[in-house]
Structure formats: C-alpha cells, structure tokens
Amino acid sequence: MRSEKLDKRITFESFTDSKDSYGQDIRTWSTFASCWAGIKLNIGKEAYISSEKVKERVVDFKIRWREDLNNEMRIIYKSNYYDIQDIIELGREDGLIIRGQRLWQT
C-alpha cells in the first residue's frame, strides 16, 4: 500500500460502559484509535424517513491493515460521524477499506 495516498487523519470511536452520578450504567463513545487514511466519496442520496428529509453519504476509508476494528465502532472525519457499514480486507493483511455511512437531517 502506498503511504502517500494516506493523507487524511481519522479517529475510531467505540462504546465504553461507565456509570453516571447516580450509579446508573451508561454507554458513551470514547476514542479507540487514530490513523492516516485515504478518502473516496462514493454515494450520496436524499430520502424521506418518517416525513423528514434525510441525506445519506457513503465514504470509503482506506487504511493500513489492523485486526482490532469492528462494525460496532464509528469514524470521525472532519467533525462528521460515520457508522461503519463494512470492513473489506485488501490483499493478505495489506490494508483495509472501511465503508462508512453518514446520515443527517435537513
């Protein structure tokens, strides 16, 4: 994998269990890891969900191979949050393409 194409910084977040001031269990997002990535914008569309206009964007993040990522995490890129839809291995532990989906209301 060519390192010159990995020029954007992304952050992975995962759920962490903790307790609030009343002792109740809560799940919060916490930083898991940061790495360099190549970004490819794929699909953008608009739809109506429950009579609200929603925009969708699918982005492929290409990173060096690592084995500690899963679909329960999310990605932060340029202050936007992307749910991980798929993790695709490139070659034999050469790299990963992580397909992320961003939804927002207009």
Helix (H) or strand (E) holding 51: none
- Residue 53, pLDDT score: 65
- Non-local (6+) Cβ contacts of 84 within 8 A are 69, 70, 71, 72, 73, 74, 75, 98, 99, 100
Q: Tell the CATH superfamily of the 3-105 domain.
A: Bacteriophage SPP1 head-tail adaptor protein (2.40.10.270)
How far is 91 from 20, CA to CA, in rounded Å?
A: 44
pTM of the model: 0.80
Instruction: Delimit the domains of the chain by residue range.
Output: 3-105
Q: Which residue has the tokens 């695709």?
A: 88
- Non-local (6+) Cβ contacts of 2 within 8 A are none
Give tens-digit pLDDT for 13-39: 999 988 888 989 898 999 999 999 999
Average pLDDT on 41-65 reads: 76
- Residue 103, pLDDT score: 66
